[in-house]
Amino acid sequence: MSKQRAGLFIAFEGGDGAGKSTQAARLAEALEARGLTVLRTREPGGTPIGEKLRSLVLDHGHGHIDAHTEALIFAASRAAHATQVIRPALDRGEVVLTDRYIDSSVAYQGAGRALGQDAVRSLNEWATSGLQPHLTVLLDVDPAMGRRRRTAGHAAEDRLESEADEFHIRIRDAFRELARRRPESYLVLPAHLSVSELSARILERVESLLASQQDAADASVSQVPAIGGGL
């Protein structure tokens, strides 16, 4: 008896310039090569309204945005993303890789903007009806290195990226603390490792997650009694 695969939800988190999108792209490629259907997405964004909210909150030129408004814009983008994109893909049994999720708001708005991590988490749990990743890959980047990487030879920094170093240090500490509290749901890797070393370690962890999902599915199938085979 075969059963549809359960979906797998993986978030990539970390400071700006950590290399999240490179790693998400490499993981997507590796999983697709194994025959899995992968949806790559990002926050803020991932839906038409989310992309509009993204430019509202990240671009310079919309005037001052206070911290509460900023947190609500990220949460609004995430609500649309969770409902319209992530849950449906998981229901179809796909692997969803998102570049940032709730932890980004907890770190940037909760710690960086000092709105309070618990308040920001509650807001976002409400916005997503409690949808949590199975695994969060945290690429832990030294803020100075992150800034060097993202300013190396290209575009100007966005509204959040251009904040002072202290802001980025608070964010890094918050991400690390989130991972420290729930180690079973995180893979923390130093962002200065080589691209291929990082992708090998991420793939190894994801393969073990897929294997345990498969074991759980096999166990539940073997518990279904055969037709007419009751007591």
**Enclosing H/E stretch for 69:** helix 67-81
**Contact (Cβ atoms closer than 8 angstroms) between residue 175 and residue 50:** no
User: Near ligand TYD by CB under 6 A, which window of 39-47, 80-88, 200-208, 216-224?
Assistant: 39-47
**Segment 203 to 222, residues that bind ligand TYD, using CB under 6 A:** none
**Segment 148 to 167, residues that bind ligand TYD, using CB under 6 A:** 158, 160-161
Binding of ligand TYD by 81 (CB under 6 A): no
CB of 63 or CB of 230, closer to ligand TYD: 63
Q: How far, in Å, are 37, 62, 79, 161, 231 from residue 59 at the CA level?
A: 33, 7, 21, 11, 66
Binding of ligand TYD by 50 (CB under 6 A): no
CB of 154 or CB of 181, closer to ligand TYD: 154
How far apart (Å, rounded) are the C-alpha atoms in residues 116 and 156?
Answer: 29
The one-letter code for the residue type at 140 is D
Binding of ligand TYD by 51 (CB under 6 A): no
Binding of ligand TYD by 104 (CB under 6 A): yes
CB of 10 or CB of 210, closer to ligand TYD: 10
How far apart (Å, rounded) are the C-alpha atoms in residues 159 and 91?
Answer: 35
Strands 38-42 and 186-190: unpaired
How far apart (Å, rounded) are the C-alpha atoms in residues 167 and 171?
Answer: 6
Considering only 81, 100, 134, 172, the residue that binds ligand TYD (CB under 6 A) is 100
Binding of ligand TYD by 43 (CB under 6 A): yes
* Structure letter (DSSP) for residue 128: T
Tell me which residues touch ligand TYD (CB under 6 A).
16, 42-44, 58, 74, 100, 104-105, 108-109, 158, 160-161
